[in-house]
Amino acid sequence: MTTAATLFSPFTLGPLRLENRIVASPMCQYSAVAGRVQPWHLVHLGGLALSGAGLVIAEATAVNAQGRITHGCLGLYDASHEAALGAILAQIRAFSPAALGIQLSHAGRRASARSIFERSKGESLPPDEGAWETVAPSALPVAPGWHRPRVMTGADIAQVIDDFAAAAARADRAGFDLVEIHAAHGYLLHQFLSPLTNRRTDDWGGDQPARNRLLIEVVRAVRAALPATRALGVRMTSTDWHPDGLTLDDAVALAQTLAALGVDYAVMSAGNLTPDVRIPAATPGHQVPFAARIRERAGLATMAVGQILDGPQAQAIVAEGGADLVAIARALLDDPRWAWHAAAALGVDIDYPPQYIRARPNNWTGYALVHGGAPEIASARQADRPPTALWDRPQATTDNPKGSAP
C-alpha cells in the first residue's frame, strides 16, 4: 500500500489485527446439507476472501439442529461440521491473508422456515415438508400462519447456553479467528431481549436486565470457551422500530455491559423482529448513526451496516468516526471486487493475488475505460515491493507443498 486512507489502514479488533477496515458481512447461503458445508461454500467464502476485505465472516451458523432457520442452514453442533469447516478454512488460508470469522446463531421461533430457494419465502414449513418443533421465550408466532413455538424451560435455556459455548469451541478448533454472536434480526437472543417477544415473568423475563440475561450468559460462556487469541463480537439490534420495543438507549446500556464481559466489537443492526412494524426506508448509511452512538458511549469497536455502497462513502464513515469498520453484504455479492474498486477510487494501491495482478489499475490500460476515470495511484509493480501479504509469498503446490521459496 503506498497511499494512506483510513478505510485501508490496519485495525486491531481485540487480539486480532486486520489489514483494513472492510468486512465481508455474514450472508446466509441456504446451501448446507444436514448442517454441513458444501462445495458452494468454498466457492462463496473463497471468493470473499479474495475480495480485498480484511475480515470475512461466515454466515449465521446454528448452534444446534433446532436453531437452524431452514433445512439448508449451516450448523456447528457436531464433529463432522467442525471437520468440514476446518478443511475449507485451510484451503482458503493457502491463498488469502484475510482474517476469517463465523457468526453463531439460534433462530428460535424463526426456525423451521422455507428458504429463498423454495416456492415461498417468509413462511414456516408445513409438517409434510420436514417441519420441526421451535422454541422461544414466549408462545408467540412470528406472524399469522406461522407455527406456535414452545415456551423454553429453564433446562432448555441452560442447554442453549451450553450449545453456544460448544459451537464456539468447535469454531476455535476449526481455525476461525473470530466468533460473532447473533443477537439481532428477530432470532432467539433478540427474542429474549425485546419486550415485544419476551412476556416471561421468571428470571429470564420482565424488566430489561432480566431480558438481557440470556445474551449475557451466552457471552460469558462463549468468551470462556475461546482462547484469548480469538476475537468476540455481537450483532445486536439498535431499535425495534416500535414504541413498545427496544431503543437505542437500551442498546447503549447493553453494549456497555458486553464490553465489560470481554466483547471486542458490536455490529449495530435494527428491526426484523415482527412483520407488522413500519421500518423507515433504507437510505445510504441509514444505520451508521447507531454504530456511532455505541462507539462513543460504550467503548466498543463498531461495525456499520446498511446501504454502504462504495469506497468514498465507506471512507467517510470510518474517517469521520461513524464506525471503526464497515460490513458489506449485497454490494459484495454484486461486485466481488468491491474492495479493489474502492481502493482505486480512493487512490490506494493494494495487494492483489498474483494470479490477478494483470487486473490492477496500473497494470491494465482498460481499467479507466471500464470503471471511468484514471485512478491516481502509484505505478510501481507489485513484484517490486517486499512481500507484506500472504498472497505475495510463494503458494503451495504439489511440487512445493509448503509454499517456501524454491
Q: Please, where are the H alpha helices in 59-139?
A: 79-93
SS3 370: helix
Q: What is d(CA 104, CA 177) in angstroms, rounded to the nearest whole number? A: 13
Q: Which residues contact 310 (CB under 8 A, 6 or more apart)?
A: 331, 341, 342, 345
pLDDT digits (tens, 9 = 90+) for 4-60: 699 999 999 999 999 999 999 999 999 999 999 999 999 999 999 999 999 999 999
**Alpha helix segments (H runs only) across 129-275:** 154-174, 188-193, 208-225, 248-260
| Residue 91 in this model has a pLDDT that exceeds 90 | yes
Region 278-294: mean pLDDT is 90
C-alpha–C-alpha distance, residues 82 and 379, integer Å = 44
Q: Number of H helices and number of E strands within the chain?
A: 11, 12
pLDDT tens column, 110-142:
999 998 776 555 789 999 999 999 999 999 999
pLDDT of residue 404: 34
Instruction: For residue 185, give the amino acid letter.
Output: H
pLDDT category of residue 383 using cuts at 50, 70 and 90: very low
Instruction: Name the packing angle between helices 154-174 and 79-93 (round to 10°).
Output: 30
Q: Which helix (H) or strand (E) holds 13?
A: strand 11-13
Sequence-distant (≥ 6) Cβ neighbours of residue 155 within 8 angstroms: none
Q: Are 403 and 395 in contact (CB under 8 A)?
A: yes
- What contacts 365, CB < 8 A, 6 or more positions away? none
Q: What does the buried/exposed string (b/e) look like for 139-156 if buried means 16 or more CB atoms within 10 Å of the residue's CB?
A: ebebeeebbebeebeeee
Cα separation, 192 vs 219, in Å, equals: 14
- The model carries a pTM of 0.91
pLDDT in tens, 228-279: 999 999 999 999 999 999 999 999 999 999 999 999 999 999 988 888 888 8
Domains in the chain: ranges and CATH: 7-336 (3.20.20.70), 351-406 (no CATH)
Q: Is pLDDT of 376 > 80?
A: no
Range with lowest mean pLDDT among 153-157, 219-223, 254-258, 346-350:
346-350
Distance of CA 177 to the CA centre of its chain: 13
pLDDT band at 387 (very low <50, low <70, confident <90, very high): very low
pLDDT at residue 398 in the model:
39
385: pLDDT confidence band, cut at 50, 70 and 90? very low
Q: Is 96 helix (H, G, I), strand (E, B) or coil?
A: coil
> Which helix (H) or strand (E) covers residue 343, if one does?
helix 338-345
Kindly list the catalytic residues.
187
Nearest to 269 by CA among 183, 208, 336: 183
Q: Give the chain's mean pLDDT.
A: 90
